[in-house]
């Protein structure tokens, strides 16, 4: 199959590279000439494990290429995927669809033969209808079908998620679109990944419902963690105790500082806006958004409490700034609210992140960025683990105790146990753990 991928962000680049790895012929398009030039030189615009090698392999094999010329890219293709950004619209939280619609118009002008236009960007229900209307308005004679194919990739695990999906959701309104998408996903279907065909609108809702449900699961366990702390129970055992029930499942039940990233915060807000327009209140999702927002800042207060209530003039060292490990993405990271809350209380902040420092510098002010965990901890009055990067899982805790000014460890991801921290001489605060004398 010949495929054009419009947009070389996370979704577009990973999907384009993976499609080419299946043997399809893929051209990735982006308006950003510097990005395209860098990609042609093998330089990735994002940090994603395995991506660079995958791109290199498929460019070398002649299956993957990059261009700024959309018209050239869509000439003669079987399918054009729209994978441009849909950020929150400034001011109201609706998804900003201007890039999607601009891409649809450009595609319509450029199409030379029959093609399926597929929306991969996360878009509110009804967007496919509007994309189709715009294309027909711009190019009344174009032989085109419009489909929806939401993605369920996690940053940091995107290639594995693409190649081993739990399911592939495809929303179509005609048989041609169905046949083309079936052919495109055939390699995955051979591996028995369920290919779920629905209507276009249903596929659009599935994407938001999935993210809202996962955000709800996390927020639920985070509230349980707060309860556990007060009543002397342990949230990790609660997660295991409920997660072993097949109806609940063990995933997305890790209590932490609140969810962040480029998807859950934006998509839950956009879903609420859709619901508002449809006059259907989604009270559960509304609560999830509020509870999660409040939680991020509350984590700053948790650190203050662990430092006996006063952080003025003291130094707090943070380990991990990105919203989760294996990414350099700082969007809506809990670290941002935590840093602000601590700075508001008069603390000085030092931080170390394995991949996120450059991005963090763009959103955090007055932070002393360090080159490794021990430099960050040296002479600090508390060490706070914000993101569970693997390299923080086996710190030399005795050394940490020795170099800290005060032996305070706040572990917002529960990667250590209170016992091992105490044995190393640290005062330990985790998430959702029973309080005990240390
Ligand atoms: C999420 C979804 O997991 C993907 O399926 C979806 O395709 C993607 O959004 C998207 O819409 O593009 P992602 O944002 O990359 O993927 O990251 P997740 O791994 O889902 O984590 C999101 C946040 O939840 C992180 O801040 C993470 O630390 C937090 N989290 C996750 C928890 O606090 N506890 C958990 O148990 C799981």
* Same domain for 28 and 160: yes
CA distance 329 to 264: 13
Please give the C-alpha separations between residue 244 and each of 9, 181, 233, 251, 284, in angstroms, as whole numbers. Answer: 36, 36, 18, 10, 24
- Hey, whose CA ends up nearest to atom 35 of ligand 1? 252
For residue 79, tell me if it sits in a domain.
yes
| H-run or E-run covering 216 | helix 200-231
CA distance 265 to 289: 7
For residue 206, tell me if it sits in a domain.
no
Looking at the DSSP bridge assignments, the partners of residue 351 are 318, 369
* Same domain for 227 and 161: no
**pLDDT value of residue 335:** 98
Ligand 1 site: residues with CB under 6 angstroms? 122, 151-155, 211, 214, 218, 252-254, 256, 259-261, 263-264, 267, 323-324
Mean pLDDT of 398-412: 98
For residue 204, tell me if it sits in a domain.
no
Whole-model pTM: value is 0.95
Choosing from 264, 328, 329, 411 the residue with most ligand 1 atoms within 8 A of its CB, the one to mutate for a pocket test is 264
**pLDDT value of residue 89:** 84
pLDDT by residue (tens digit) across 167-222?
Answer: 999 999 999 999 999 999 999 877 788 999 999 999 999 999 999 999 999 999 99
* Same domain for 261 and 120: no
Ordered alpha helix ranges (H), 77-199: 98-110, 127-138, 158-163, 175-184, 186-190
* Same domain for 245 and 185: no
For residue 310, tell me if it sits in a domain.
yes
Number of domains in the chain: 2
* Same domain for 418 and 280: yes
* Same domain for 233 and 184: no
- Hey, whose CA ends up nearest to atom 28 of ligand 1? 324
Q: How confident is the model at residue 436 (pLDDT cuts 50, 70, 90)?
A: low
* Same domain for 261 and 133: no
Q: CATH number for the domain including 158?
A: 3.40.50.720
28 is catalytic: no
- Hey, whose CA ends up nearest to atom 20 of ligand 1? 154
- Hey, whose CA ends up nearest to atom 5 of ligand 1? 152
First-last CA distance in the chain: 63
Domain boundary residue, one of 138, 165, 198: 198
Closest C-alpha among 312, 331, 222 to residue 269: 331
Choosing from 121, 263, 337, 414 the residue with most ligand 1 atoms within 8 A of its CB, the one to mutate for a pocket test is 263
pLDDT by residue (tens digit) across 355-395?
Answer: 999 999 999 999 999 999 999 999 999 999 999 999 999 99
* Same domain for 174 and 241: no
Range of the domain at 106: 2-198
* Same domain for 400 and 305: yes
pLDDT > 70 in the chain, percent: 99
């Amino acid at each position: 199959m010949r495929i054009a991928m419009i947009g070389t962000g996370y979704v577009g680049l990973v999907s384009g590279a993976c499609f080419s790895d299946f043997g399809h012929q893929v051209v990735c398009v982006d308006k950003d000439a510097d990005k395209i030039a860098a990609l042609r030189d093998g330089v990735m615009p994002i940090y994603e494990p395995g991506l660079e090698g995958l791109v290199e392999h498929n460019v070398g094999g002649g299956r993957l290429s990059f261009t700024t010329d959309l018209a050239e890219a869509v000439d003669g293709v079987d399918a054009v995927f729209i994978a441009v950004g849909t950020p929150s619209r400034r001011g109201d939280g609706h998804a900003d669809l201007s890039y999607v619609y601009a891409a649809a118009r450009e595609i319509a002008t450029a199409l030379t033969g029959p093609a399926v236009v597929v929306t991969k960007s996360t878009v509110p229900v009804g967007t496919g209808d509007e994309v189709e209307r715009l294309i027909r308005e711009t190019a009344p004679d174009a032989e085109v079908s419009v489909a929806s194919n939401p993605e369920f990739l996690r940053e940091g695990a995107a290639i594995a998620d693409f190649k081993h999906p739990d399911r592939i959701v495809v929303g179509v309104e005609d048989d041609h679109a169905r046949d083309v998408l079936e052919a495109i996903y055939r390699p995955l279907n051979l591996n028995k990944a369920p290919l779920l065909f629905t209507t276009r609108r249903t596929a659009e809702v599935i994407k938001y419902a999935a993210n809202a449900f996962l955000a709800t699961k996390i927020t639920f366990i985070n509230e349980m963690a707060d309860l556990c702390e007060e009543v002397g129970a342990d949230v990790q055992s609660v997660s295991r105790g409920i997660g072993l029930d097949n109806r609940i499942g063990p995933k997305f039940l890790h209590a932490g500082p609140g969810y962040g990233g480029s998807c859950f915060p934006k998509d839950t807000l956009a879903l609420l806006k859709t619901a508002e327009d449809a006059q259907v209140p989604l009270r559960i999702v509304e609560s999830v958004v509020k509870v999660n927002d409040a939680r991020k800042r509350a984590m700053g207060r948790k650190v203050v409490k662990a430092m006996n209530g006063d952080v003025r003039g003291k130094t707090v060292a943070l380990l991990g700034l990105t919203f989760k490990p294996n990414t350099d993405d700082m969007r809506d990271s809990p670290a941002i609210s935590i840093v602000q809350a601590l700075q508001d209380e008069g603390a000085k902040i030092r931080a170390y992140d394995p991949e996120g420092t450059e991005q963090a510098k763009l959103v955090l002010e007055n932070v002393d960025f360090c080159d490794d965990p021990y430099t960050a901890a040296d002479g600090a009055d508390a060490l706070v683990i914000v993101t569970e990067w693997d390299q923080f899982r086996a710190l030399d805790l005795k050394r940490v105790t020795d170099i800290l000014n005060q032996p305070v460890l706040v572990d917002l991801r529960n990667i250590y146990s209170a016992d091992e921290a105490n044995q190393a001489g640290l005062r330990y605060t985790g998430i959702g753990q029973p309080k005990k004398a240390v």
